Structure 1
């Protein structure tokens, strides 16, 4: 069949026009191209009427642009797309760590639909903060990608739910032939390398290709970054008493234990810090009556990762009119965060743990005035002088942070299978039928999960030494019994510390059938093309909590939501029409009906109208209007539980007391309750102009409007709830905040709600220019920019809106929206050489952290550079070597007043990234 070869030629012609490739050598296919039927992003129609430019704007990153971006993972493409803002990044310290997804217009990862070759790519086994599921793009190998097409317009009328903000369509190298191997090494704050291979072949009845990639990177602890040390007031040594990483509950503080009439002990007298504080851990220090330590290296900011990714595709002509196609992908991604000296909470003994006087290493005695004093000599002379004490502490101190931390291991296993038939019903009409099955599973193994009762028992029995010299002098022998050894063993730790395992799994199934083609001829000689189709989608999700959490055997008070085999079914029918009203005017119509079921969001009918007008030989005008719809997710209706650090001005104080001047940073359970919700919907407009001049100059300018209603978000941000308890300067408890007996945060509860509306408007610009005969080569200039003119957020139905444009939006459920993002670059290409230089700009935006409200987060301009040399006919191969640097001048991310001191959704902490790449094609 010639169809696939000709389609490939048309695709190459489209790419060459958009990114500057020469189209020489394709002219001989010109006659056949006019009659070949193709499908492009933004339409289900296959027709000869499809043109390079459509009524809806599509931005394309071709294989050259991808290589020039120095992309080691698919997420590295974010920085070259100005329309992308607020994406999930792999530096997040939560269950999404290692996952990434596009977020067009800053409207959330769930509002961007990701396709592979025009079909759904499956959904992750974890949800975003707003409770929606998304596609993890890091499961796919970069070497499989031929180009990425980004539809920057709402497309629910064409593709259904999740396409509310736009569509990213990953087009694969389906016509690759030969054998290719490659390797790459990267060096920045961490190091990374990858190995990849590709094999492809075409034969009389069809073709196949397979792409394999193995990627591995080292991790970084927070203390590896000088800018975090400095901005958090660590001073580089971790011993500052006002660092944002100083522990509220540290290595140990002790008080006399008094037995009450109810059989419980309470704290009495003055508090005493651990007598071996400074020697018990590398960054332990005495602060007042507490032995605290700096936990900057308790967690990794950048996780260790290893990924094995495989993608294969196969096309086979069963007859002249029937073609079988299939895709199979598999990835195994292991993400390793770390956990050091975690907090252990308890509600017993006045918020602490009893250390009996008989403990072999309890050398506290009465100080004669109602307090306690450490006196080893007195206890050695008379062990009966020891007294009962209560300790509040983290069982493991800073000695167990950094390189001694335990690994949190999240294993993501993803499979996706697609099979379909492409049938030519007539010369002008085609039937496409496909079935997609995608399964994603996360196994989350969390170490150092403490059982409070078991810890109390280990201390009471003398099995665990809760005093600092367990680390300061682990070989010391007890002066009481002359036998017990000071250091704590792994067996003693295992008596109260265990690994918790959580398993989540998502399965998406999609069956679809579409009939499309040219249906009748107009009086002007042009053909009306149409598509008719039906789709069924099923999404199942299971969340299996660890048994310790399920039955709360670990002493925690946070509830657990277990969702097992929850399911959501969607049925859809749709139609499209492409009407060339004249040689210069084209109208595109689309209508889609989707039914989620009465209890899962109801049904919706979404139209879209697009118009394209060729005003002159060089000027094209385009515009579109449409509506979109997204039903509440399984998580939205069932609830979610997570955890994270919160700043608390009321830590350890009582109701009515003045709040603290400086907040303590504490980890707490973050619970979001599910409830009945309305679907979120949107209306979007786009007006654009495309100018295509001579000498390879093309530019476009589009004005867009998105108006979302009934957006589903977390009602009140967890930090906002905690801050609210101290708004007046006096601690007023909020029922949504649960604290333990010592006044420490235990959990904070919010809920998913429909939060009013968002209206976003702005401008997109793209441009390309090619200049021949520059130093015996070709100079290519390109750029893209997005300017957000308005991002009004109304959190309720009062009509009061908050201007989110140019704002971080940290506490209102949206990501940062810098007003301007721009990328400009130039590349010079000769016979065997290619050099490139590009600038990436992000404008400043306002910080909405309470202490820094209204302060600017600085703008940033980064420079990337790359050089490639191609060696032909080396042992019958073509070999290329690439040396590149991203962030050439090693600029730090702009400062933000948070614990990690930068905005991880907008800026990269890794600094200068140098890479060396080699590729051999046989």
Structure 2
């Protein structure tokens, strides 16, 4: 079946290449007056709509989805890639990404063409929106949860490079959120839903009110949304770290503790854990090997800790927002507007009780943990001798379950204010349009962390009891007994409340002018020009405990920076011919923008396009654009932070006993002894910014067609039929990223090349105890593919009116090449690093209306993927154990909705729906970090979700 599908796609692609076209994803056109401006052009002329690939999501489309956030809606587009959402339980699990943007806990982002969320520009009513703040860094992407869904009239998505029109970040595309403006009367919307297992309840209320007079227009909106959590332990697929492997991939930091050291009495290196129930274990130095009669046994896979059951499948989130805009029409040609928004998001992430890793193989990067000294005088030390990182201690892993789970609570406040004048004037027989705008926006966030530990106090409590007694509040710590042996007094000394804060600010001013310059034989030459000034300011301030180096969790340092940019742009629409033997009309579009950054200097980006209306039924389009993305504050100024990543050491024996996959001679040269087994699958990787970064530069090309055959218009079987095809290509050079850590380690072991091995250090026992992985301008990213879409409206009959929309994206290439030409693991059809690039994604929606009834049925399809099983290749859950790969089967979801409108007041619409009607589980992902599936691509396990909505207009 897959081979037939590939052949069909190739045949379609080859036939379309002969046409060399480009087209917009056609949707119902927005209402036009004398002139409009649409996403993808700055020229205000209605006939320029659709000049570039723009997909419009109407309010009806949004309501049909049954979703309650802009991010969730956009992530279901076939051209979307992996992005954060409420299914990512990121805090305490993923660590800090290298871009300095922070964890992004609780946010929802959008990724287009799999190029990353920071390469998508988000506008609101054509004005750039503020970047996120999540109290863990200075973000480079937009948190769509800062914009209430209730205020949205429609969303326009440009899936093409647009830096010449909008500036930095518009490499992969632009999302323009158009707010509700023309509204008379009131509206109350209530919604409620939950998963069929009775959890994950979502509920909310939206209020809207508007009033217009001859010279004024006012709209006010308020929104409240509350999302309850879903716990990982409630689903079989997410109950263990990796499905089908039990606790094999669990943590070696357990409630009883794991102790690896060299016994100074016997000289033997032991790897021990207390027997179950031994709260005051007795250790006998005279015993060797694993056949022991004291209170210890050799640590084994069965002793590992199942951290998964503490995690979340869906993170709780509460959002409150208010929005208003007022317009005053001074005269027929001039009006003033003002807009304001306030939004608060309160969200929570949760992770398993924080582990204590102590000793030289802890690899935490914190010297207080890596160089720990545990005194023989500690009253709870059962071994009778010092445990010294510089002598006999190798690793201790203890999970203080007494302190409870790690809970990370975020509060994110968004403020936005925008005002301006919009006008027009006549000059001769022409009309010119102008506007001036000023906007100020701010995102500020605070994260409060409960359940973490103070490693400085831990070190003091494990050392000499006399030194501990000299410090007020210090009590000796017992990490040697089983669960329950860490007392409340001990917790009071070692467990603080940690508070981190961050802020992003954007100040913006712009002025624009558009009109027709002069007439040409084929029509007027239209133009737009403008100036824009932006100032970015951002900072991240971790808790003083973290800054001092006393935080046991993932460390980070403060970040702060600012920069500004001045830009000018010009756009021309040049008519080449009209009503000729070559077709109805051919237009050439030209655009260019010059940007002057205070951080790196000037940059010019051009764009060229052709729009050829061959006949009334057939249209061809093509565009070529150059773009760039300026390094963000976090990427430039981000200080050292840490990510704890799932990395397999090629020099280690596999968990299933498989031999090391790395070259034995090279492993020996790196200091890894024969028989070494990686004690912990998580390796701490230090990340950070780089002030010497250059901008990313890109080249984008699109070509496509739209065919609206006359025989399918106003026919007995069809009112309208549109077939649309777009080929896209993006080449990104100097991508700002760190080389994939697993790839870096593999290349180090394979080549011993210093460019890969520098920054990776190992303890005397062979384990990795340092991994430095910094941001650089790497090689390139190249991707291309096709959008193939069909829209069909059937005539109205006694059975009602039906509409079919079938949208497809084929990704034919994705190449990412890093330092020294190293190929990164992402490519079409592959799952890696908690993200996927399916070769084919498809969404088909059938709408039906009859009188006051309406219904819809949607089918979402994701093509099959493959992944590297890693150490899980030793388990039957890996579908191809011989080759060490696992297949994630193709997945299809069905969503259904039905509604009825009562003629009460201005209308009462009642709607009921089910997403994932047949309760399709996501395919098992063995390489994913959490919950056994890819949260950015699939619905949660046992994820049938039903909802009700009542919408009253008055």
1:918 aligns with 2:940: no
After superposition, the C-alpha distances for 1:436-474 in whole angstroms (9 at most, x for unaligned) are 1111112122233322342244454694562677755xx
Q: CA deviation at 1:600?
A: 2.2
Q: Is the 8 A contact 2:479 2:486 kept in 1?
A: no
Using a 3 Å threshold, how does the CA distance of structure 1 residues 255 and 71 change in structure 2: closer, same or farther?
Answer: closer
Q: Is the 8 A contact 2:611 2:620 kept in 1?
A: yes
Q: CA deviation at 1:629?
A: 1.4
SS in 1 for 2:634: helix
Q: How many residues in Structure 1 have an aligned counterpart in Structure 2?
A: 829
2:172 paired residue number? 165
Q: Is the 8 A contact 2:253 2:399 kept in 1?
A: no
Structure 2 matches for 1:292-691, cutoff 5 A? 292-347=304-359, 354=374, 359=379, 364=382, 396-398=399-401, 404-426=404-426, 428-458=431-461, 460=465, 463=475, 466=478, 471=483, 488-489=487-488, 491-524=489-522, 526-554=523-551, 560-564=556-560, 566-581=561-576, 582-583=578-579, 584-597=584-597, 600-640=599-639, 641-647=641-647, 649=649, 655-658=671-674, 660=676, 664-666=680-682, 668=684, 670-691=686-707
Q: Is the 8 A contact 1:57 1:153 kept in 2?
A: yes
The whole-number CA distance in structure 1 between the counterparts of 2:820 and 2:395 is: 47
Q: Is the 8 A contact 2:909 2:951 kept in 1?
A: yes
1:861 paired residue number? 892
2:18 paired residue number? none
Q: Is the 8 A contact 1:341 1:395 kept in 2?
A: no
The partner residue of 2:144 within 137, 145, 149 is 137
**Residues 148-157 or 72-81, more deviating:** 72-81
SS in 1 for 2:545: helix
Q: CA deviation at 1:253?
A: 4.4
Structure 2 matches for 1:696-715, cutoff 5 A? 696-714=720-738
2:71 paired residue number? 75
1:871 paired residue number? 902
The whole-number CA distance in structure 2 between the counterparts of 1:126 and 1:44 is: 33
1:244 aligns with 2:249: yes
2:283 paired residue number? none
1:102 paired residue number? 110
Unpaired stretches in structure 2, ≥5 consecutive residues: 1-24, 92-102, 281-294, 360-367, 654-666, 714-718, 874-883
After superposition, the C-alpha distances for 1:177-217 in whole angstroms (9 at most, x for unaligned) are 21111221221252221122111111221211122111112
Using a 3 Å threshold, how does the CA distance of structure 1 residues 817 and 675 change in structure 2: closer, same or farther?
Answer: same
SS in 2 for 1:77: helix
The partner residue of 1:149 within 156, 180, 191 is 156
The whole-number CA distance in structure 2 between the counterparts of 1:307 and 1:48 is: 37
Using a 3 Å threshold, how does the CA distance of structure 1 residues 651 and 801 change in structure 2: closer, same or farther?
Answer: closer
The whole-number CA distance in structure 2 between the counterparts of 1:345 and 1:613 is: 65
1:808 aligns with 2:851: no
1:9 paired residue number? none
1:59 aligns with 2:55: yes
Q: CA deviation at 1:696?
A: 1.9
**Residues 904-913 or 163-172, more deviating:** 904-913
Q: Which protein, 1 or 2, shows the higher relative CO under an 8 Å CA cutoff with sep ≥ 6?
A: 2
Q: Is the 8 A contact 1:666 1:745 kept in 2?
A: no
Using a 3 Å threshold, how does the CA distance of structure 1 residues 181 and 124 change in structure 2: closer, same or farther?
Answer: same
Q: Is the 8 A contact 2:72 2:85 kept in 1?
A: no
**Residues 779-788 or 653-662, more deviating:** 653-662
Q: CA deviation at 1:310?
A: 2.1
1:817 paired residue number? 837
Q: CA deviation at 1:589?
A: 2.8
Q: Is the 8 A contact 1:512 1:535 kept in 2?
A: yes
Q: CA deviation at 1:345?
A: 3.9
Using a 3 Å threshold, how does the CA distance of structure 1 residues 758 and 320 change in structure 2: closer, same or farther?
Answer: same
Q: CA deviation at 1:664?
A: 2.6
After superposition, the C-alpha distances for 1:786-836 in whole angstroms (9 at most, x for unaligned) are 11122233335759797822223539xxx5221111111101111211111
Q: CA deviation at 1:706?
A: 1.6
Q: Is the 8 A contact 2:458 2:477 kept in 1?
A: no
Using a 3 Å threshold, how does the CA distance of structure 1 residues 832 and 577 change in structure 2: closer, same or farther?
Answer: same
Q: CA deviation at 1:720?
A: 3.7
The whole-number CA distance in structure 2 between the counterparts of 1:231 and 1:661 is: 19
Normalising to structure 1: TM-score of the pair?
0.82
Using a 3 Å threshold, how does the CA distance of structure 1 residues 660 and 72 change in structure 2: closer, same or farther?
Answer: farther
Using a 3 Å threshold, how does the CA distance of structure 1 residues 269 and 655 change in structure 2: closer, same or farther?
Answer: closer
The whole-number CA distance in structure 1 between the counterparts of 2:383 and 2:135 is: 53
The whole-number CA distance in structure 2 between the counterparts of 1:456 and 1:594 is: 56
The whole-number CA distance in structure 2 between the counterparts of 1:623 and 1:218 is: 46
Q: Is the 8 A contact 2:848 2:856 kept in 1?
A: yes
The whole-number CA distance in structure 1 between the counterparts of 2:685 and 2:826 is: 30
Unpaired stretches in structure 1, ≥5 consecutive residues: 1-16, 27-32, 261-265, 373-388, 473-485
SS in 2 for 1:184: strand
Q: CA deviation at 1:338?
A: 2.0
Using a 3 Å threshold, how does the CA distance of structure 1 residues 221 and 735 change in structure 2: closer, same or farther?
Answer: farther
